[in-house]
Homo-oligomer: A and B are copies of this chain.
Amino acid sequence: MRFGVNYTPRVNWWHAWLDFQPAEIARDFEQIAALGLDHVRIFPVWTYFQPDRLHVRPQAIDDLLRMVGLAGEAGLDVQVDGIQGHLSSFDFYPPWTQTWHRRNVFTDPDVIAGQTLLLRTIGEAIRDRPNVIGMTVGNEMNNLVEHNPVTAAEVDDWVEAMLAALDDALPEKLRCHSAYDAAWYTDGHPFTPQTSARKGMLTTVHPWVFSNSCAIRYGPLSTATTHLAEYAVELAKAYAVGPGREVWVQEVGAPEGHIPPEDAPEFAARIIANAVTCEDVFGITWWCSHDVDRSMADFPMLEYSLGLIDSSGKTKPIGESVAAAVRELRATKPTPVHRDTALLFDGGGVDSRAASGPGGAFFESWMRYAESGTRLAIVLADRAEEGGYLEARGITRLLRP
């Protein structure tokens, strides 16, 4: 199982692409590797990589390759997210997609051609690098839905087009996509659980404890909060077509205002320990490596302090806690628990998601079992009768919420 971190450059955050400083990045990677982590997830910024629809900057690709190389020198593997798109509350729209050139970034054929050009160009550049894990289409592109209205069918077409570009560009590497939690918990949201759980080579989940105010609602060290990643993995497995599809806890973190700093180390240890009890976990990637320097403006308050390492370069207590958890997990190599008992979720349609999110009846029922020490799988009700399905998943007992 992989343990890594979402990289946030200590100097200039992801605006670092504009003033590429290899020495700063090398130092950041050495610090990350020193925590015992094995990979970083990194984020090209769309407006900096592709200022013109037909041109991906060769220098940007060179800088990306340099970053991949520096990670390799530090002993880190790399997952590259193609289209940003969205990062930490900021959207990055190239000028050829907005205002006078306004076009829907999910449905406009020229924009889609531009996006696939970006993905292919990055993918072909990095595919032979041994320390590249693969590519994600982009970070939580469903944050762009608000300003680019789109149907679920259109999202599926878009995700398939993006994944096809990745399939062409780096067929030997991991190809996946990602979405923020509205995909799982918000009725009507056009990115669906099915899209997350059935497209790409594995399912990514981003179980943020601020989703539906989970940590505030239940408490920072509550069962619901500390089992949220475990739950997200099991929910993702329920939506998958069949058994065995891997799930990547690609973002998990301890946002201030939701997790008090004094509880953060304990929270981190517990949410990781619970998540690794699931089968088929590809890895856990903490958000994020470095705090955002307070001299940078306009980030939401919680985004400044999500790092394992502070903005002066000092490892924080939560960094020590994550490092210790990872060290222990690497030493003990715990075996995931096979879950032969599943909670039946009478949902799975586009408009039944709210029940499965924090605050929802199904979510709370699952968490009551977790509270009593029972680790449950999840089965969608409409699949329970499907011939061979339960057997394939090794589920012998069904509970109703």
Contacts and interface: CB of A to CB of B under 8 A. Distances in A.
A111 B383 CA distance: 53
A298 B53 contact: yes
Give the oligomeric copy count. Answer: 2
Contacts of A89: 100-101
Contacts of A15: 51-52, 55, 57
A297 B53 contact: yes
A47 B15 CA distance: 10
A298 B93 CA distance: 15
Contacts of A110: 297-298
A306 B388 CA distance: 68
A346 interface: no
Interface residues of A, number: 35
Contacts of A52: 12-13, 15, 296-298
Nearest to A51: B15
Interface in A51-70: 51-55, 57, 59-60
A22 B196 CA distance: 46
A18 interface: yes
Interface string A291-307: 00001111000000000
B96 A101 contact: no
Contacts of A98: 91, 93, 98
11 contacts: A12-B55, A18-B48, A18-B51, A52-B296, A52-B298, A90-B96, A92-B95, A99-B147, A100-B146, A101-B298, A110-B297
